[in-house]
Amino acid sequence: MTFKLPIYMDHHATTPVDPRVLDAMLPYFSQEFGNASSIDHIFGARAHEAVEKAREQVASNLNARPEEIIFTSGATESDNIALLGVAEKMAAKGDHIITCVTEHKAVLDTAKHLETMSKTVTYLPVDRYGLVDPGDVEDAITDRTILISIMAANNEIGTIAPLKEIGKIAKAHGVLFHTDAAQAVGHIPIDVKEMGIDLLSLSGHKIYGPKGIGALYIKGANPKGKVSPVMFGGGHERGIRSGTYNVPGIVGLGKALEIAEKEMEAENKRFRKWIKQMLEAFQENIEGVVLNGHPEKRLAHNLNVCFPGIESKALIHLLRNDVAISAGSACTTTSVEPSHVLKAVGLGDSDIYSTVRFGSGRFNTGEEIEHCIHVVISGSKKLRRVSG
Protein backbone atom coordinates (compact mmCIF):
# COMPACT_ATOMS: atom_id res chain seq x y z
CA MET A 1 0.00 0.00 0.00
CA THR A 2 1.58 3.28 -1.13
CA PHE A 3 -0.91 5.69 0.42
CA LYS A 4 -1.75 6.83 3.93
CA LEU A 5 -4.99 6.12 5.73
CA PRO A 6 -7.52 7.52 6.16
CA ILE A 7 -8.14 8.65 2.58
CA TYR A 8 -9.79 12.07 2.28
CA MET A 9 -12.92 11.94 0.09
CA ASP A 10 -14.91 14.92 1.37
CA HIS A 11 -13.68 17.68 -0.94
CA HIS A 12 -17.06 19.46 -1.02
CA ALA A 13 -16.66 20.25 2.68
CA THR A 14 -13.16 21.63 2.24
CA THR A 15 -9.95 20.99 0.34
CA PRO A 16 -6.32 20.81 1.46
CA VAL A 17 -4.24 23.84 0.57
CA ASP A 18 -2.22 23.14 -2.58
CA PRO A 19 1.53 23.33 -1.76
CA ARG A 20 1.94 25.83 -4.61
CA VAL A 21 -0.69 28.03 -2.97
CA LEU A 22 1.02 27.77 0.41
CA ASP A 23 4.37 28.71 -1.16
CA ALA A 24 2.79 31.84 -2.65
CA MET A 25 1.23 32.79 0.71
CA LEU A 26 4.17 32.21 3.08
CA PRO A 27 6.13 35.45 2.45
CA TYR A 28 3.06 37.53 3.34
CA PHE A 29 2.95 36.21 6.90
CA SER A 30 6.41 37.37 7.94
CA GLN A 31 8.55 39.05 5.27
CA GLU A 32 5.97 41.02 3.27
CA PHE A 33 3.75 41.67 6.30
CA GLY A 34 2.65 45.20 5.40
CA ASN A 35 -0.91 46.53 5.60
CA ALA A 36 -2.19 46.75 2.01
CA SER A 37 -3.89 50.06 2.84
CA SER A 38 -0.66 51.72 4.05
CA ILE A 39 0.73 52.35 0.59
CA ASP A 40 2.93 55.36 1.46
CA HIS A 41 5.82 53.03 2.38
CA ILE A 42 7.34 50.01 0.69
CA PHE A 43 5.88 47.40 3.07
CA GLY A 44 2.30 48.49 2.42
CA ALA A 45 2.94 49.08 -1.27
CA ARG A 46 4.17 45.50 -1.77
CA ALA A 47 1.18 44.10 0.09
CA HIS A 48 -1.10 46.28 -2.04
CA GLU A 49 0.55 45.00 -5.22
CA ALA A 50 -0.01 41.42 -4.09
CA VAL A 51 -3.70 42.10 -3.40
CA GLU A 52 -4.20 43.69 -6.81
CA LYS A 53 -2.42 40.82 -8.56
CA ALA A 54 -4.78 38.37 -6.82
CA ARG A 55 -7.74 40.51 -7.84
CA GLU A 56 -6.64 40.14 -11.46
CA GLN A 57 -6.28 36.36 -11.03
CA VAL A 58 -9.80 36.02 -9.61
CA ALA A 59 -11.27 38.27 -12.30
CA SER A 60 -9.52 36.31 -15.06
CA ASN A 61 -11.10 33.06 -13.88
CA LEU A 62 -14.61 34.58 -14.13
CA ASN A 63 -14.07 36.72 -17.27
CA ALA A 64 -14.66 39.77 -15.10
CA ARG A 65 -12.75 43.02 -14.58
CA PRO A 66 -10.48 43.33 -11.50
CA GLU A 67 -12.46 46.28 -10.15
CA GLU A 68 -15.56 44.06 -10.06
CA ILE A 69 -14.01 41.76 -7.43
CA ILE A 70 -14.63 42.44 -3.71
CA PHE A 71 -12.63 40.34 -1.24
CA THR A 72 -14.57 38.85 1.70
CA SER A 73 -14.04 36.19 4.39
CA GLY A 74 -15.76 33.51 2.28
CA ALA A 75 -18.87 32.61 0.33
CA THR A 76 -21.16 32.89 3.37
CA GLU A 77 -20.23 36.53 3.83
CA SER A 78 -20.45 37.12 0.08
CA ASP A 79 -23.97 35.63 0.01
CA ASN A 80 -25.01 37.84 2.92
CA ILE A 81 -23.63 40.99 1.29
CA ALA A 82 -25.34 40.10 -1.99
CA LEU A 83 -28.80 39.44 -0.55
CA LEU A 84 -28.86 41.99 2.28
CA GLY A 85 -27.02 44.60 0.23
CA VAL A 86 -29.33 44.33 -2.79
CA ALA A 87 -32.45 44.26 -0.59
CA GLU A 88 -31.42 47.53 1.04
CA LYS A 89 -30.13 49.25 -2.10
CA MET A 90 -33.13 48.30 -4.25
CA ALA A 91 -35.79 48.87 -1.56
CA ALA A 92 -37.33 51.75 -3.49
CA LYS A 93 -37.69 49.56 -6.60
CA GLY A 94 -39.05 46.42 -4.97
CA ASP A 95 -39.04 43.93 -2.11
CA HIS A 96 -39.28 40.53 -3.80
CA ILE A 97 -36.47 37.96 -4.06
CA ILE A 98 -36.55 34.63 -5.91
CA THR A 99 -34.41 31.72 -4.75
CA CYS A 100 -34.56 27.93 -4.64
CA VAL A 101 -35.33 25.31 -1.96
CA THR A 102 -31.97 23.55 -2.42
CA GLU A 103 -29.78 26.60 -1.81
CA HIS A 104 -27.00 26.61 0.77
CA LYS A 105 -28.06 27.79 4.24
CA ALA A 106 -26.00 30.95 3.71
CA VAL A 107 -28.64 31.99 1.18
CA LEU A 108 -31.71 30.35 2.73
CA ASP A 109 -31.11 31.71 6.24
CA THR A 110 -30.37 35.18 4.86
CA ALA A 111 -33.62 35.00 2.85
CA LYS A 112 -35.53 33.97 5.99
CA HIS A 113 -34.01 36.95 7.80
CA LEU A 114 -35.14 39.25 4.99
CA GLU A 115 -38.69 37.94 5.44
CA THR A 116 -38.59 39.24 9.03
CA MET A 117 -37.76 42.64 7.50
CA SER A 118 -40.98 42.61 5.43
CA LYS A 119 -39.33 41.36 2.25
CA THR A 120 -41.11 38.72 0.15
CA VAL A 121 -39.20 35.60 -0.88
CA THR A 122 -40.25 32.92 -3.39
CA TYR A 123 -38.59 29.52 -2.83
CA LEU A 124 -38.75 27.65 -6.13
CA PRO A 125 -38.99 23.83 -6.21
CA VAL A 126 -36.60 21.54 -8.09
CA ASP A 127 -37.16 18.35 -10.08
CA ARG A 128 -35.97 14.93 -8.92
CA TYR A 129 -32.48 15.71 -10.19
CA GLY A 130 -32.24 18.98 -8.25
CA LEU A 131 -32.70 21.23 -11.29
CA VAL A 132 -34.70 24.42 -11.07
CA ASP A 133 -36.86 25.11 -14.14
CA PRO A 134 -35.97 28.45 -15.80
CA GLY A 135 -39.66 28.72 -16.74
CA ASP A 136 -40.53 28.67 -13.03
CA VAL A 137 -38.04 31.46 -12.46
CA GLU A 138 -39.66 33.61 -15.13
CA ASP A 139 -43.19 32.85 -13.89
CA ALA A 140 -42.21 33.96 -10.37
CA ILE A 141 -41.01 37.41 -11.45
CA THR A 142 -43.27 40.31 -10.49
CA ASP A 143 -42.93 44.08 -10.86
CA ARG A 144 -41.53 44.06 -7.29
CA THR A 145 -38.76 41.50 -7.99
CA ILE A 146 -35.25 42.86 -7.42
CA LEU A 147 -33.06 39.74 -7.22
CA ILE A 148 -32.84 36.12 -8.37
CA SER A 149 -30.39 33.95 -6.38
CA ILE A 150 -29.77 30.43 -7.71
CA MET A 151 -26.66 28.42 -6.78
CA ALA A 152 -24.35 27.36 -9.60
CA ALA A 153 -23.71 23.80 -8.40
CA ASN A 154 -25.24 22.04 -5.43
CA ASN A 155 -22.92 21.22 -2.54
CA GLU A 156 -24.65 17.91 -1.73
CA ILE A 157 -25.76 16.31 -4.99
CA GLY A 158 -23.50 18.15 -7.44
CA THR A 159 -26.26 19.22 -9.85
CA ILE A 160 -25.26 22.16 -12.07
CA ALA A 161 -27.90 24.85 -12.59
CA PRO A 162 -28.91 26.32 -15.99
CA LEU A 163 -27.17 29.62 -15.23
CA LYS A 164 -27.11 31.00 -18.77
CA GLU A 165 -30.87 30.53 -19.24
CA ILE A 166 -31.65 32.13 -15.88
CA GLY A 167 -29.26 34.98 -16.65
CA LYS A 168 -31.12 35.72 -19.89
CA ILE A 169 -34.46 35.75 -18.07
CA ALA A 170 -33.14 38.07 -15.37
CA LYS A 171 -31.74 40.51 -17.93
CA ALA A 172 -34.97 40.50 -19.98
CA HIS A 173 -36.92 41.53 -16.88
CA GLY A 174 -34.36 43.98 -15.49
CA VAL A 175 -33.75 41.87 -12.38
CA LEU A 176 -30.34 41.28 -10.78
CA PHE A 177 -29.01 37.71 -10.87
CA HIS A 178 -26.83 36.34 -8.07
CA THR A 179 -25.29 32.88 -7.89
CA ASP A 180 -23.59 31.14 -4.99
CA ALA A 181 -20.76 29.53 -6.96
CA ALA A 182 -18.68 28.25 -4.03
CA GLN A 183 -18.83 24.67 -5.36
CA ALA A 184 -18.56 25.65 -9.03
CA VAL A 185 -15.76 28.20 -9.45
CA GLY A 186 -12.50 26.41 -10.18
CA HIS A 187 -14.36 23.18 -10.96
CA ILE A 188 -16.46 24.13 -14.00
CA PRO A 189 -16.04 27.04 -16.44
CA ILE A 190 -17.82 30.16 -15.19
CA ASP A 191 -18.13 33.19 -17.47
CA VAL A 192 -20.10 35.96 -15.77
CA LYS A 193 -20.60 37.88 -19.01
CA GLU A 194 -21.80 34.92 -21.07
CA MET A 195 -24.03 33.69 -18.24
CA GLY A 196 -25.56 37.09 -17.46
CA ILE A 197 -24.47 37.01 -13.81
CA ASP A 198 -24.59 40.29 -11.84
CA LEU A 199 -23.30 38.99 -8.50
CA LEU A 200 -21.32 35.83 -7.71
CA SER A 201 -20.04 34.39 -4.42
CA LEU A 202 -16.96 32.17 -4.14
CA SER A 203 -14.75 30.71 -1.42
CA GLY A 204 -11.04 29.86 -1.28
CA HIS A 205 -11.17 26.65 0.73
CA LYS A 206 -13.27 24.81 -1.87
CA ILE A 207 -10.55 25.22 -4.51
CA TYR A 208 -7.32 24.22 -2.68
CA GLY A 209 -6.90 27.71 -1.23
CA PRO A 210 -6.98 28.78 2.43
CA LYS A 211 -10.02 29.01 4.70
CA GLY A 212 -11.34 32.41 5.72
CA ILE A 213 -11.06 34.08 2.31
CA GLY A 214 -13.57 34.52 -0.51
CA ALA A 215 -14.83 37.05 -2.99
CA LEU A 216 -17.98 38.67 -4.29
CA TYR A 217 -18.15 39.63 -7.96
CA ILE A 218 -20.37 42.67 -8.52
CA LYS A 219 -20.93 43.62 -12.15
CA GLY A 220 -20.11 47.15 -13.26
CA ALA A 221 -17.90 50.07 -12.37
CA ASN A 222 -20.01 51.16 -9.40
CA PRO A 223 -20.72 48.32 -6.94
CA LYS A 224 -22.57 50.71 -4.63
CA GLY A 225 -25.11 51.16 -7.41
CA LYS A 226 -26.26 47.58 -6.80
CA VAL A 227 -25.32 46.77 -3.21
CA SER A 228 -25.39 48.68 0.05
CA PRO A 229 -22.59 47.79 2.48
CA VAL A 230 -23.61 45.64 5.44
CA MET A 231 -20.51 46.40 7.54
CA PHE A 232 -18.70 49.67 8.00
CA GLY A 233 -15.21 50.89 8.80
CA GLY A 234 -12.40 52.23 6.67
CA GLY A 235 -14.20 52.07 3.35
CA HIS A 236 -12.09 49.23 1.97
CA GLU A 237 -13.15 47.33 -1.14
CA ARG A 238 -14.85 50.32 -2.75
CA GLY A 239 -16.89 50.91 0.39
CA ILE A 240 -18.60 47.53 0.21
CA ARG A 241 -16.50 45.51 2.67
CA SER A 242 -14.42 47.39 5.25
CA GLY A 243 -11.63 45.70 7.21
CA THR A 244 -7.88 45.16 7.09
CA TYR A 245 -6.90 43.05 4.09
CA ASN A 246 -6.15 39.37 4.74
CA VAL A 247 -3.14 39.60 2.43
CA PRO A 248 -1.88 35.99 2.76
CA GLY A 249 -5.42 34.67 2.22
CA ILE A 250 -6.03 36.93 -0.77
CA VAL A 251 -2.72 35.87 -2.34
CA GLY A 252 -3.69 32.23 -1.75
CA LEU A 253 -7.10 32.69 -3.33
CA GLY A 254 -5.61 34.27 -6.43
CA LYS A 255 -3.01 31.53 -6.81
CA ALA A 256 -5.60 28.78 -6.25
CA LEU A 257 -7.76 30.14 -9.06
CA GLU A 258 -4.78 30.57 -11.37
CA ILE A 259 -3.95 26.88 -10.88
CA ALA A 260 -7.59 25.81 -11.26
CA GLU A 261 -7.88 27.67 -14.57
CA LYS A 262 -4.94 25.70 -15.99
CA GLU A 263 -5.71 22.27 -14.54
CA MET A 264 -9.53 22.06 -14.42
CA GLU A 265 -10.00 20.18 -17.67
CA ALA A 266 -7.42 17.47 -16.89
CA GLU A 267 -8.68 17.12 -13.32
CA ASN A 268 -12.29 16.71 -14.36
CA LYS A 269 -11.35 14.01 -16.86
CA ARG A 270 -9.69 12.08 -14.03
CA PHE A 271 -12.58 12.69 -11.63
CA ARG A 272 -15.20 11.53 -14.13
CA LYS A 273 -13.33 8.26 -14.59
CA TRP A 274 -13.09 7.67 -10.83
CA ILE A 275 -16.71 8.57 -10.07
CA LYS A 276 -17.94 6.27 -12.86
CA GLN A 277 -15.72 3.50 -11.50
CA MET A 278 -17.09 3.97 -7.97
CA LEU A 279 -20.75 4.13 -8.97
CA GLU A 280 -20.54 1.05 -11.19
CA ALA A 281 -18.74 -0.94 -8.47
CA PHE A 282 -21.29 0.06 -5.83
CA GLN A 283 -24.24 -0.79 -8.07
CA GLU A 284 -22.74 -4.17 -8.98
CA ASN A 285 -21.92 -5.19 -5.42
CA ILE A 286 -24.48 -3.47 -3.17
CA GLU A 287 -28.15 -4.10 -3.84
CA GLY A 288 -30.39 -1.11 -4.60
CA VAL A 289 -27.75 1.65 -4.87
CA VAL A 290 -29.28 4.83 -6.37
CA LEU A 291 -27.49 7.94 -7.68
CA ASN A 292 -28.79 11.26 -6.37
CA GLY A 293 -28.57 14.38 -8.52
CA HIS A 294 -28.48 14.76 -12.28
CA PRO A 295 -26.78 11.86 -14.13
CA GLU A 296 -24.95 14.23 -16.52
CA LYS A 297 -25.33 17.87 -15.44
CA ARG A 298 -23.21 17.40 -12.33
CA LEU A 299 -19.83 18.24 -10.86
CA ALA A 300 -17.21 15.77 -12.09
CA HIS A 301 -15.87 15.07 -8.58
CA ASN A 302 -19.25 14.53 -6.89
CA LEU A 303 -20.90 11.20 -6.10
CA ASN A 304 -24.01 11.21 -3.91
CA VAL A 305 -25.58 7.78 -3.51
CA CYS A 306 -28.25 6.08 -1.43
CA PHE A 307 -27.42 2.69 0.09
CA PRO A 308 -30.93 1.44 1.01
CA GLY A 309 -31.13 -0.25 4.39
CA ILE A 310 -27.71 1.02 5.50
CA GLU A 311 -27.55 3.95 7.91
CA SER A 312 -25.02 6.40 6.46
CA LYS A 313 -23.74 7.56 9.85
CA ALA A 314 -23.03 3.93 10.83
CA LEU A 315 -21.12 3.36 7.57
CA ILE A 316 -19.13 6.58 7.98
CA HIS A 317 -18.22 5.66 11.56
CA LEU A 318 -17.28 2.10 10.59
CA LEU A 319 -14.94 3.36 7.85
CA ARG A 320 -13.51 6.39 9.65
CA ASN A 321 -9.99 4.92 9.85
CA ASP A 322 -10.03 4.09 6.12
CA VAL A 323 -11.87 6.87 4.34
CA ALA A 324 -13.36 10.28 5.20
CA ILE A 325 -16.80 10.63 3.61
CA SER A 326 -19.90 12.59 4.49
CA ALA A 327 -23.61 12.20 5.08
CA GLY A 328 -24.31 15.67 3.74
CA SER A 329 -23.33 19.32 3.94
CA ALA A 330 -20.54 20.16 6.38
CA CYS A 331 -22.42 23.35 7.21
CA THR A 332 -25.39 21.48 8.68
CA THR A 333 -23.83 18.34 10.15
CA THR A 334 -24.68 19.36 13.73
CA SER A 335 -28.35 19.19 12.80
CA VAL A 336 -30.37 16.00 13.20
CA GLU A 337 -32.84 17.24 10.61
CA PRO A 338 -32.80 15.34 7.31
CA SER A 339 -31.07 17.08 4.41
CA HIS A 340 -33.29 19.80 2.92
CA VAL A 341 -31.67 19.13 -0.48
CA LEU A 342 -32.51 15.42 -0.51
CA LYS A 343 -36.03 16.16 0.75
CA ALA A 344 -36.50 18.63 -2.09
CA VAL A 345 -35.59 16.01 -4.73
CA GLY A 346 -38.21 13.65 -3.31
CA LEU A 347 -36.31 11.29 -1.02
CA GLY A 348 -38.05 9.94 2.07
CA ASP A 349 -36.39 10.08 5.49
CA SER A 350 -35.15 6.47 5.39
CA ASP A 351 -33.38 7.03 2.06
CA ILE A 352 -32.01 10.37 3.23
CA TYR A 353 -30.44 8.72 6.28
CA SER A 354 -28.95 6.08 3.95
CA THR A 355 -27.24 8.61 1.67
CA VAL A 356 -23.48 9.17 1.46
CA ARG A 357 -21.57 11.91 -0.36
CA PHE A 358 -18.15 11.23 -1.89
CA GLY A 359 -16.02 14.11 -3.13
CA SER A 360 -12.80 13.19 -4.95
CA GLY A 361 -9.95 15.66 -5.13
CA ARG A 362 -6.75 16.83 -6.73
CA PHE A 363 -4.42 14.76 -4.56
CA ASN A 364 -6.36 11.50 -4.59
CA THR A 365 -4.87 8.60 -6.57
CA GLY A 366 -6.31 5.67 -8.47
CA GLU A 367 -5.07 3.36 -5.70
CA GLU A 368 -6.99 5.36 -3.11
CA ILE A 369 -10.17 5.16 -5.17
CA GLU A 370 -9.82 1.39 -5.40
CA HIS A 371 -9.31 1.12 -1.64
CA CYS A 372 -12.32 3.37 -1.03
CA ILE A 373 -14.47 1.15 -3.25
CA HIS A 374 -13.27 -1.99 -1.47
CA VAL A 375 -13.93 -0.76 2.09
CA VAL A 376 -17.31 0.79 1.26
CA ILE A 377 -18.52 -2.45 -0.32
CA SER A 378 -17.23 -4.64 2.52
CA GLY A 379 -18.49 -2.19 5.17
CA SER A 380 -21.94 -2.03 3.58
CA LYS A 381 -22.20 -5.83 3.47
CA LYS A 382 -21.12 -6.05 7.10
CA LEU A 383 -23.76 -3.54 8.21
CA ARG A 384 -26.45 -5.33 6.21
CA ARG A 385 -25.55 -8.62 7.88
CA VAL A 386 -25.76 -6.99 11.31
CA SER A 387 -29.11 -5.27 10.63
CA GLY A 388 -30.52 -8.28 8.74
Residues known to be catalytic:
331
Query: What angle in degrees, to the nearest 10, is found between the helix axes of 247-285 and 366-387?
Result: 60
Dihedrals φ, ψ of 98, to 5°? -110, 130
> Cβ-count burial of 317 within 10 angstroms (0-12 exposed, 13-18 middle, 19+ buried)?
exposed
Which alpha helices (DSSP H) does the chain contain, by range?
19-25, 27-30, 42-62, 75-89, 105-116, 134-140, 163-172, 247-285, 312-318, 340-344, 349-352, 366-387
Contact between 13 and 332 under an 8 Å Cβ cutoff? The reply is no
Collapsed DSSP state (helix, strand, coil) of residue 122: strand
Contact between 360 and 369 under an 8 Å Cβ cutoff? The reply is yes
Query: Could you tell me which of 340, 291, 286, 344 has the C-alpha nearest to residue 315?
Result: 286
Query: Could you tell me which of 89, 67, 78, 210 has the C-alpha nearest to residue 152?
Result: 78
Position 244, amino acid? T
273 CB-near residues (< 8 Å, 6+ apart):
none
Other Cβ atoms closer than 10 A to 56: 14
* Interatomic CA distance for residues 149 and 279, integer angstroms: 31
